Structure 1
Amino acid sequence: MLKQLFSRRRKNRYGWFGDYTSWEKVREKAAGYDSNVILERTTNALLKVKLGEAVYERDSVLFDKKVYPYPLMAYLSLSRNLKKQPLNILDFGGSLGSTYYQLREILTPDVCASYNVVEQEHYVTSGNANFANDTLKFYRSIDACLAEKEIDFVLLSSSVQYLEQPHPFLEKLAGYNFDFILFDRTAFNKQSFDRLTLQIVPPEIYPASYPAWFFHEEFFLSHFSGMYKVAAEFSSYVEGEAVMYIDNKPSGADKGFYLINRTIHA
């Protein structure tokens, strides 16, 4: 929803702006993602979905009709077939389980053994209090999750671009030796280097702004070249994210990649 709104708006004060040289310079202008306002709105919206009072939530916004992430659904099914057993899924930056609730009718016990969200501490607290169940769990780090679960499939949807140090994280992610990794709704630009911007959210969603990366695709994928093969590349399932605007100019796109560990699945 965020990027759909931003992508369609031209010459206004909401969206992605700038080409910053450091995270600190962006933070000077930002009111961060750890805002309690965002958590409160997301909690209230997703509780309506959980209770059957709404159909679908994305980025704290409620919808009366689901938009399905068909690439994710297809590659979850393929991964389950390759693994030949239900998957233990880790959703990095998965909010309060938005994707879990979006897909819960297909995340049957035959497909999903467990669904584990890694998030910021205040999200984990709210998630465990309001949304956790026998399948859905919340953790403060990948390592905390791995202490309890053996993860097969990692989902990173619209999350890596909000990390201060994304490349050390990606290098570490590759080193975990997971069977499958799927990036979705990840921002890439048309330049030969990463671009750091300030994302300003329309107040009708929530009042916030924060740093956001647009990645250089080749460098991004280079972290995984030794162990993984890129089995698929796909556009974002969200309308309006095929073209992303920075400073009101078309500058990139949200897209995804499905990676298979070639040392496990030759």
Structure 2
Amino acid sequence: MSFFKRKKDVKNQWGWFGNYDSWEALTSLSGGYEAASILDITKNALLKVKNGDAAYERDSVLFDKKIYPYAVISALLYAALECDNVLNVIDFGGSLGSTFYQVRDLIPTSVKLNWSVVEQENYVRCGQEMFEDDTLKFHFTVKESMAEKQANVLLLSSVVQYLPKPHEFLKEMITYGFQYIIIDRTAFTKNNQPDRLTLQIVPPEIYEARYPAWFLNEEIFLAHFKDYELKTEFASYVDGEQEMEIDGIKAGYDKGFFFVRKQVR
């Protein structure tokens, strides 16, 4: 099919469009996620959160009142209780610590918290220079992070759908044997439709960007976790993500899951 071109009569110019066959071709058209401007906007926003000048940041947007992802926090507290109040979290695709800053004030001080963000090289270098401390660390790969400190929790928040090969990625993550896996704000197709690759166009008031984004088949997605017990599943806490439009039609949704590794008998 031809790549999406904006038309004058399209009411909503922002959101998700198309059904593409090639991630690489779509990336060459859209530019992907590596633009320095996105990092700069995110960095400046999170510095305000870090310095107490804003309540929290989501997708580089600042908010004056914090909205908590309670399902994620509950899963973290569950893991902490089962692990003698020790939480070693790998936050894959965690930007410059967005979720860390969002949840940290609801994690009791009695919990020993270690939070490792695994990200793109430019984010890691920025994070190490401007955000890293005794609790929050930044690493280039999961393997590097695990070598420094063995994690018991893997957090995947709004990231799997932005990877070129999400199923291969999930297969790799399973091999690490994380005791707990928390998945949040992940996009799925409605009505058991197959995986769908779309072009996401970000509203310019956030930043100017276009990039590839998957909507995944939930049943196929869940099949990766046969070694885990699904403790709970939950809708996205973000307004508008419980039902999402592709090409102007309600065809997707965001949701999350909390998995606990099954005991080996």
Does the Cα contact within 8 Å between 2:154 and 2:181 map onto a contact in 1? yes
The alignment's TM-score, normalised by the length of structure 2, stands at: 0.93
TM-superposed deviation, 1:86: 1.2
> Secondary structure at 1:17's aligned position in 2?
strand
> For the residues of structure 1 that align with 2:104 and 2:75, how far apart are their CA atoms?
16
TM-superposed deviation, 1:88: 0.3
TM-superposed deviation, 1:111: 2.6
- Counterpart residue number, 2:39: 39
Query: Per-residue displacement from partner, 1:112-145 (whole Å, max 9, x unpaired)?
Result: 4301100000000000111100000000110010
After superposition, residues 61-210 of structure 1 pair within 5 angstroms as 61-190=61-190, 191-210=192-211
Aligned residue type for 2:77: S
Query: Per-residue displacement from partner, 1:122-181 (whole Å, max 9, x unpaired)?
Result: 000000111100000000110010110110111100001000011111011111110000
- Counterpart residue number, 1:211: 212
> For the residues of structure 2 that align with 1:32 and 1:110, how far apart are their CA atoms?
41
Aligned residue type for 1:217: E
Aligned residue type for 1:208: A
Does the Cα contact within 8 Å between 1:89 and 1:112 map onto a contact in 2? no
Does the Cα contact within 8 Å between 1:121 and 1:140 map onto a contact in 2? yes
> For the residues of structure 1 that align with 2:256 and 2:223, how far apart are their CA atoms?
15
TM-superposed deviation, 1:197: 0.3
Aligned residue type for 2:102: Q
Aligned residues: 255
The alignment's TM-score, normalised by the length of structure 1, stands at: 0.93
> For the residues of structure 1 that align with 2:11 and 2:110, how far apart are their CA atoms?
48
TM-superposed deviation, 1:59: 0.7
- Counterpart residue number, 2:243: 243
Does the Cα contact within 8 Å between 1:183 and 1:258 map onto a contact in 2? yes
Which protein, 1 or 2, shows the higher relative CO under an 8 Å CA cutoff with sep ≥ 6? 1
2:224 corresponds to 1:223: yes
> Secondary structure at 1:103's aligned position in 2?
helix
For structure 2, list consecutive stretches of 5 or more residues without a partner in the other structure.
1-9
Aligned residue type for 2:25: K
TM-superposed deviation, 1:221: 1.1
> For the residues of structure 1 that align with 2:217 and 2:110, how far apart are their CA atoms?
37
For structure 1, list consecutive stretches of 5 or more residues without a partner in the other structure.
1-9
- Counterpart residue number, 2:263: 263
What RMSD in Å do the two structures reach over aligned CA positions? Answer: 1.3
